[in-house]
Amino acid sequence: MLMAITLKKAKDVKTAPLVATGLIGGWLTARETGIRPLGGVILGAAGAYAARTWHEKTGALGTTGLVATYLGAFGLSHPLAKKIGAWPSVLAVTALAAGAAAVADSK
**Alpha carbons 72 and 21: distance in angstroms, whole number:** 16
* pLDDT at residue 85, rounded to an integer: 97
The 10s digit of each residue's pLDDT in 62-95 is 999 999 999 999 999 999 999 999 999 999 999 9
* pLDDT at residue 107, rounded to an integer: 85
Write the Ramachandran bin of 5: left for phi over 0, alpha for psi from -120 to 50, otherwise beta: beta
What is the pTM for the complete model shown? 0.92
* pLDDT at residue 1, rounded to an integer: 67
The 10s digit of each residue's pLDDT in 3-48 is 888 999 999 999 999 999 999 999 999 999 999 999 999 999 999 9
